[in-house]
Amino acid sequence: MAPITLHLRAETKPLEHRSALSPAVVKKLVESGFRVNVERSPTDPERIFKDSDYEPYANLVEAFSWPKAPRDHVIIGLKELPEEDFPLKHTHIQFAHCYKGQAGWDQVLGRFASGGGTLYDMEFLEDDNRRRVAAFGYHAGYAGAALALEDWAWQLQHGAEIPLPGKKPYNTESDLLKEVKSDVAAGIGKNDGKAPQILIIGSLGRCGRGAIDLCLAAGIPETNLLKWDLAETSAKDGPYEEIRESDIFINCIYLDKPIPKFVTEDFLKEGSSNRRLSVVCDVSCDTTNPHNPIPFCNRPTYFDKPTVAVDSFANPPLSYITIDHLPSLLPREASEAFSNALLPSLLELPNASTAPVWQRARKVFEEKLATLPLTHGLAKSS
C-alpha cells in the first residue's frame, strides 16, 4: 500500500494561529511511514510554529495550494474552509461546524456531495467510550475564563462606555496568567475587596475544568465558584436565578439537542433588583444554533473586539463573549496538546475503513449528507 500523504493547510480565519499538527507530531508521522506536506504559513494569520520547524520532516508547499493537491491526499486543518462554491473532492479532517443545523450547513455539505469528497469532522472523532479523541476544550475554557475575568475587572475600572480592548495571542500560558492576575486584583480593589462569584455550567467536562483551573490560578476563592453540570441543570428548568445572582456566567456545555434556556434578557429584567450578572462567556459558542440556551448571545465576537454590550442594561452593564476559537489565545500549548492527542488516530488512517474512530466519523458524515435538500442533488429516503 502506498503511504498516505497528509496535507496540512494554512488557516484563513483571522487571528487563528493554531495548527492541527505540531512539528513534533509531523516528525512522528513521517517516522511511521506517512508523507506530510505543510503549506507555508501566511503572514496573517501567522502559524505559531515557524516553517523552519517543519522543514526537517515535511515537504513545504505553497500556502492555500490544497485544492490543487492530488485527489488521494488527505487535507487536514482546523477551522472552516473559506466560503466558496467549488466542489470538494478530497478527504478533509477539520472542524466544519455543519452537523448541528448551523447557518450555511447545507452549503458546506453540498460541496462534499458535488465533489465526492469526505469529511471527517474532528468534533466527531470519538473513542469506544464516545469521548472525543482530541479536543481543544480545556484551553477553550481556560482562555474563556481569562477573558471573562478581564472583562469583569475592566467594567469596574472603566464603566460600560469603553469596551474591553482587543487581545492578541500570548506566547505562553504564564504570560496570560500574569496579566489576568493583575487585572483581577485591580477589579477586586474597585469592588470593595470582593472577588466575583462565577457560575460555570459544564464544570465536569474538559472545557469546564479549564475554566475552573484558570479561575483558581487567578486567585478566585473556590467558595466563589459555583460548579454546575447535568445534575444541577436537570434538577430544575431554567432560566436560573443563580446565573442572575452571579457576577460572571461561563457556559461550557456541549449542545446537541433542545434544552430549557439558561438565562434570557426578559428574565434578567424581571429580577433587575437582584441582578449581579455583568459578564457572560459562552465558550460553547452556539450563536446560530436554534437551541441556543442563551438567546441574547447571538452574534460572534472576535479577539480584536472580544465583547458585545447588551442594550438596556446598566448598573451593572452586561456584555458577552462568543469567540469560537478561544484556544487561539494560547496557540502553542493548545496546538501541542491537541495534535499529541490526535496522533494515535492519525496513525490508524491507513486502516480507516476498519478503524472504529474513522468508521464512526464516516457514518456520521454519511448520515448528515443524506439530510441535504434536493437542491444539492441528493434525494432523501422516503
121 forms bridges with which residues in the sheet?
Answer: 94
d(C-alpha 140, C-alpha 373), whole Å = 33
73 catalytic per annotation? no
d(C-alpha 228, C-alpha 252), whole Å = 10
Q: Which of 79, 92, 167, 368 is catalytic?
A: 79
Short-list 218, 178, 179, 182, CA closest to 198: 218
d(C-alpha 226, C-alpha 172), whole Å = 28
97 catalytic per annotation? yes
- Alpha carbon 321 to its chain centroid, in Å, reads 12
Q: Which of 17, 89, 97, 325 is catalytic?
A: 97
3 state SS for the chain: CCCCEEEECCCCCCCCCCCCCCHHHHHHHHHCCCEEEEECCCCCCCCCCCHHHHCCCCEEECCCCHHHCCCCCEEECCCCCCCCCCCCCCEEEECCCCCCCCCCHHHHHHHHHHHCCEEEEHHHCECCCCCECCCCHHHHHHHHHHHHHHHHHHHHHHCCCCCCCCCCCCCCHHHHHHHHHHHHHHHHHHCCCCCCCEEEECCCCHHHHHHHHHHHHCCCCHHHEEEECHHHHHHCCCCCHHHHCCCEEEECCCCCCCCCCCCCHHHHHHCHHHCCCCEEEECCCCCCCCCCCCCCCCCCCECCECCEECCCCCCCCCEEECCCCHHHHCHHHHHHHHHHHHHHHHCCHHHCCCCHHHHHHHHHHHHHHCCCCHHHCCCCCC
d(C-alpha 95, C-alpha 119), whole Å = 9
Q: Are 195 and 169 in contact (CB under 8 A)?
A: no
As annotated, the active-site residues are 79, 97
